[in-house]
Structure 1
Amino acid sequence: MVLGGALLGTAPASAAEEAPEIVEGVDMGTQGPLADTGAADGMATRAAAETTAAPSCIGTTVAYGSTVCFAPYGDVVWVLDTKKDGMSAAGGVYTDYGRGSRVCVNKAGVDHWVKCDYDYWEKGNIQLRALRYDSGTGKFYVPDAWSDWIPVDGKY
């Protein structure tokens, strides 16, 4: 299913419907914010990404081809591309206080993490959305997944 450039679709909570700000993430290689499994291959990295979040990364959300999480100290959104399918992994970020939506796009390729540094209101909450992005058409694709609301300060 194609969602178009505005990240349209049904959200489990009230998320902004306007066109998001699209940011290309900084390539951080194969080492990301999630727990280390002790193995060096990409499958182990993906398995860790899909099951275990380190304390520095909360709100981990996984959909086909994309893993997204949030590190509250520094307001960093991390995105991992988990499928070699010609599309980029994308992590949408929505707030509960009216700030426009943003998308962190991973153009670094499969098994690579990227990070996007943002600055959110510390008393606010964000919601993450994991999905895929086709830069050639400017469209987002599902399946997607939404996180619960995550406190920006990391304190539940």
Structure 2
Amino acid sequence: MIGAEWLGLWGGREAPLGSRDWAMRLLILVGTWKFAVFVTIFTLAQLRAIPDRFYEAAKVCGANRWQMFRDITLPRLMGIVTVVVLLRSVFMFNKFDIIWQLTEGGPGNATTTLPVLAYKTVYTDQAYGLANAIAVVMFLFLLASAIIYFQLFNPSEEVETTT
């Protein structure tokens, strides 16, 4: 059986979530795996929303599969990809549960994110003001990110209305 030791990733007696080098990478992998269905559903919904008449017109014009994908499918998916990236960024920025359950912010501080730091600050150090300041900074960062997103990518342009 091929194991992590054989691949040279970590030793046989070493816990990967206990490794400063591997803990954050594995948490990102777990978070990505957990929400892959979310991304898939959004992408499939957008694929189903592309009208068949676009592909029929492309076939009449002599487009091959690659050209139809490049000129019809990919541009239509870019809007939903940007929305999904924004939503996943917000979700992962605020991620607490998976990190706390798997590592509690350790080993050391290798997986301590701002939500974990705010939690530790309140319940370990009992510094309520500092934890509140951390939460406000997190909110301001997310607000600024959302404003920049809406300035760069106008979501109202992605909506197709039929009359």
Provide the TM-score with structure 2 as the length reference: 0.23
Q: Which has the higher helix share?
A: 2
Q: Which has the higher contact order (CA 8 A, sep 6+)?
A: 1
Provide the TM-score with structure 1 as the length reference: 0.23
Q: Which has the higher strand share?
A: 1
| Larger-Rg structure | 2
